[in-house]
Amino acid sequence: MIALPKRIFVTGIDTNIGKTVISAILCEALKADYWKPVQSGSVEGTDSDFVRRHCFENIVIHPSAYCFKEPVSPHLAAKKENTRIEPDKIKIPQTKNTLVIEGAGGIMVPLNDESVILDLIVDWETPAIVVSKNYLGSINHTILTCEMLNAAGVEILGIIFNGEPTPSSEEYILNYTNLPMLGRIEQTEKVERKFIQTQAEKLRKQLEMF
């Protein structure tokens, strides 16, 4: 099985790409802790709530450093609540367990007027998994995300593809980035506990192939 680090940052090539579902699947597969440092859009329920409902019973969910009501970019959500995100005040939770860290949106999502999500990944020296999903422009977005991470010196563990298979696009992405496909998460209309369990077992077997 691929030697995964104790901390894994899950990022995506866009918003609503499946990061939370895949973070939950990773937590289930690795029996890991979960942490969403910055959360916006809490009115309709947080990503932490989703992971808690869908993962194993005793999962440890570490509290977000910032949690905002509006489902908008974190820097704007903070301004709407008359505050400012201070990245240096966001401290990684202490745990002996594997920690899955989920980002907000993509790596260039702003935290404030100077800092973006990528800065957190770099400062924490945390290896990343990139979540990709097929849509018009996804090849470009996936490669750009990987190029930015590489340029910043971030170790990319690999790519997880979410949704319907698109072999030609995926082959191009993997060949261009020279990264492994860590797994594929199946398309589903409704995510339930059983789906997370099934996909976690499948992902665990895929990781064992490395």
Q: Report the catalytic residues.
A: 36
Q: Say yes or no to pLDDT of 210 above 80.
A: no
Dist. CA 107–CA 14, nearest whole Å: 9
The pLDDT > 90 percentage for the chain reads: 90
**pLDDT (average), residues 2-19:** 92
Token pair 């899955």: residue: 100
Which domains, from first to last, does the chain contain? 7-207 (3.40.50.300)
Among 23, 20, 33, 8, CA closest to 155: 8
Q: Mean pLDDT across the stretch 197-205? A: 95
Q: Is the pLDDT of residue 103 over 70?
A: yes
Range with top average pLDDT, 14-18, 44-48, 62-66: 62-66
Query: What sign has the CA pseudo-torsion 130, 134, 139, 144?
Result: negative
The predicted model gives 51-65 an average pLDDT of 97
Report which of 76, 8, 64 is spatially closest to residue 39, judged by C-alpha positions. Answer: 64
